[in-house]
Amino acid sequence: MPDVVDHSTRSRMMRAIKSHDTHPEIALRKYLHAQGYRFRLHRKDLPGSPDIVLPRHHLVIFVHGCFWHRHAGCFYATTPGTRTSFWKNKFEANVSRDQRACENLEQLGWRVLVVWECGFKHCREQLSGISQLIQAVNQYQEWPSQPPRFRPS
C-alpha cells in the first residue's frame, strides 16, 4: 500500500517519534510510583539502557513499541509497504539488539520484564498484573503475555 502522505511529511512524522519518556513509559512510571516502587531511569551502565530499573528487585523493565520492536502476533507490528527491505533489516536489527541486551542482563543476574505498548492501549485495567510480575522470580517475562486479539476501532 502506498504511503498516504508525501515524503517530507512522513520524514517529519518519523523524526517526532521519541525514544524516551513515551506515553506508555510515563504511564508505567506513574503506576509503579503509586504502588510504592522506587526506580531509576535509563541506566546507561546496563546493557540496552533499560527504561526503568528497580534495583531492590534486581529487575529491569523495557517499554517496547510493538511496531519498532516487533511484538509477535500484534496487529501494531505491521511492515510499511514501501522500502520493505530497508524496514525488514531495520526491524531485524532492533530485535537482535533487544535479544542481546536481555541475554547480557540475565548473565549479569538481572531479571527482565518487557512491557508492550499494546498493553497500555488495550489491557490498561490489568496493570495490576505488572506488580505480580515484579514479585515473580522468572528471569524473563512479558506483559501482556499475549497481544490483544482484536483490531482497534
Here the CATH number for the domain that contains residue 136 is: 3.40.960.10
Assess if residue 57 is contained within a domain.
yes
Nearest one of 86, 106, 17, 128 to 144, comparing CA atoms: 128
- The yes-or-no verdict on residue 25 having pLDDT over 90 is yes
Assess if residue 150 is contained within a domain.
no
Rounded mean pLDDT, 40-44: 96
pLDDT in tens, 9-22: 867 776 767 667 88
Residue type at 58 in one-letter notation:
H
Assess if residue 1 is contained within a domain.
no
Cell of 30: 506513574
- The yes-or-no verdict on residue 152 having pLDDT over 80 is no
Assess if residue 89 is contained within a domain.
yes
Alpha carbon separation from 117 to 5, 50, 92, 114 (Å, rounded): 24, 15, 19, 10
Q: What is the pTM of this model?
A: 0.86
Assess if residue 121 is contained within a domain.
yes
* Domain total in the chain: 1
Domain carrying residue 118: 14-143
Which band of pLDDT confidence, cut at 50, 70 and 90, is reported for residue 149? confident
Assess if residue 4 is contained within a domain.
no
Q: How many CB atoms lie within 10 A of CB 48?
A: 19
Which band of pLDDT confidence, cut at 50, 70 and 90, is reported for residue 104? very high
Assess if residue 93 is contained within a domain.
yes
Assess if residue 148 is contained within a domain.
no
- The yes-or-no verdict on residue 140 having pLDDT over 90 is yes
Q: Provide the pLDDT for residue 33.
A: 96
Which residue stretches of the chain are H helix?
7-15, 23-34, 66-69, 84-107, 117-122, 128-135
CA angle in degrees (0–180, nearest 5) for 67-83-80: 30
